[in-house]
Amino acid sequence: MVKVFIPGTLAEALEIRGLHKTLIINGGTDVMVKYRRWNGMAPNFPMDVLHIGSLAELKQIAIVEGKLTIGAAVTLSELLEHPLVPEYIKLPIRQMASPAIRNMGTLAGNLCNASASGDSLPMLYALDAEVTLASVRGIRKLPVRQFITGAKQTQLQPDELATEVTLPLADYTLSYYRKIGGRQVNAIAKASFFAVAIKKNGSVEDVRIAFGSVAPTVIRCRACEESLIGTAEAGLAAKIETVRMRYGELLTPLDDTRSTADYRRQVSLRLLEDFIGRRLAK
Ligand SMILES: Cc1cc2nc3c(=O)[nH]c(=O)nc-3n(C[C@H](O)[C@H](O)[C@H](O)COP(=O)(O)OP(=O)(O)OC[C@H]3O[C@@H](n4cnc5c(N)ncnc54)[C@H](O)[C@@H]3O)c2cc1C
């Protein structure tokens, strides 16, 4: 019989995490599916469970020194409704799941689940997000691209929990997210593409591009982005083919029940062309 811990404070949660081997439940929208059993039966949790979804300390959203911090227990719906969260961060979240799931699910849960098809991950990589990990030993911050080490793999230690996600803010003039799924809502991405850019006087001052669902983790290539930076709108069309070829080498999609590797590759590169040719160049 597993124990269920429902701590009242973060300090209590960290103490429990340090003393017991626990499975963290935040919104539970991934965990409950993963460990579900037949109707009417309790989930088949492999170890004691630590519920952190109600901790007030993890429910905060704030801007500190130009960075947005989102507490680990902030739900996706709360994030979407919050006035401090810019639209380019909300963009992929709007396309996640359905209202009922967004009322429970969290950004931190999507990150810690580290699925190759997690909708928030391309955005988190593109914006150079960091995750804060806490334990009774102390606190450490890791860039998301280091925290995630593979499909469903992270650097989270057994006594740690993620307390917040931090995103540097910028005045992006353009944001773009496309998710290819089997239907409009409640669909896991077959492929996804997130990009933001700053354009000034008809030229690209910054651009960040990230592909989801086409490799074990998100694909981002700063050298490819830099090849577009400084380019005037009129010069972008001439660069599409080179950039497309470079990304084509980096994408390593899989065949699975949701899609084929070939479809994922083709559609992802078409989204890249669409973004550069129709949005960045206009
Ligand atoms: C019907 C349905 C539709 C869905 N649609 C989408 C979709 O369109 N796009 C998408 O990306 N996802 C989708 N999901 C998956 C899920 O809703 C998201 O991944 C959600 O963001 C998970 O958040 P959560 O808080 O519920 O995570 P949980 O299920 O609570 O946890 C997920 C994992 O992260 C760990 N974890 C959670 N919080 C922490 C923390 N603070 N510190 C350390 N570890 C932690 C847990 O131990 C677990 O391993 C869907 C799920 C369902 C059931």
Pocket of ligand 1 (CB under 6 A): 23-31, 33, 52, 72, 96-97, 101, 104-106, 108-110, 112-113, 118-119, 156, 161-162, 186-188
Yes or no: say if 147 and 111 are a contact pair by the CB < 8 Å rule. Answer: yes
Instruction: Check pLDDT > 90 for residue 186.
Output: no
106 CA from centroid of ligand 1 (Å) = 6
Nearest to 182 by CA among 273, 257, 116: 257
Structural domain that includes position 196: 174-280
Instruction: Check pLDDT > 90 for residue 54.
Output: yes
For ligand 1, what atom is nearest to the CA of residue 31? 29
Q: How far apart are the C-alpha atoms of 233 and 280, rounded to whole Å? A: 7
Domain count, the chain: 2
Nearest to 233 by CA among 187, 183, 276: 276
Q: Which residue has the higher pLDDT, 38 or 202?
A: 202
Count CA within 13 A, CB hemisphere, residue 98: 6
Instruction: Residue 222: give its domain's CATH number.
Output: 3.30.390.50
Yes or no: say if 160 and 135 are a contact pair by the CB < 8 Å rule. Answer: yes
Yes or no: say if 17 and 49 are a contact pair by the CB < 8 Å rule. Answer: no
| pLDDT in the model for residue 40 | 85
| pLDDT in the model for residue 137 | 98
- 121 shares its domain with 190: no
| pLDDT in the model for residue 200 | 96
For ligand 1, what atom is nearest to the CA of residue 104? 26
Q: How far apart are the C-alpha atoms of 120 and 110, rounded to whole Å? A: 7
Structure tokens at 99: 């209202």
What is each CA distance from 126 to 55, 140, 193, in whole angstroms?
29, 21, 10
Instruction: Residue 56: give its domain's CATH number.
Output: 3.30.465.10
Instruction: Check pLDDT > 80 for residue 262.
Output: yes
Longest dimension (CA), the chain: 66
- 29 shares its domain with 142: yes
Among 17, 20, 30, residue to substitute to test ligand 1 (most atoms within 8 Å of Cβ): 30
Among 2, 14, 16, 29, residue to substitute to test ligand 1 (most atoms within 8 Å of Cβ): 29
210 CA from centroid of ligand 1 (Å) = 20
Instruction: Check pLDDT > 80 for residue 184.
Output: no
At 248, the pLDDT band (50, 70, 90 cuts) reads very high
At 173, the pLDDT band (50, 70, 90 cuts) reads very high
pLDDT by residue (tens digit) across 79-123? Answer: 999 999 999 999 999 999 999 999 999 999 999 999 999 999 999
268 CA from centroid of ligand 1 (Å) = 24
pLDDT by residue (tens digit) across 146-159? Answer: 999 999 999 999 99
For the chain, percent of residues with pLDDT exceeding 90: 94
* Tally of CB atoms within 10 A around 26: 29
| pLDDT in the model for residue 182 | 87
- 196 shares its domain with 150: no
- 127 shares its domain with 31: yes
DSSP state of 106: B
- What average pLDDT does the segment 132-155 reach? 98
pLDDT by residue (tens digit) across 198-231? Answer: 999 999 999 999 999 999 999 999 999 999 999 9
- 182 shares its domain with 72: no
| pLDDT in the model for residue 1 | 84
Nearest to 203 by CA among 171, 242, 236: 236
For the chain, percent of residues with pLDDT exceeding 70: 100
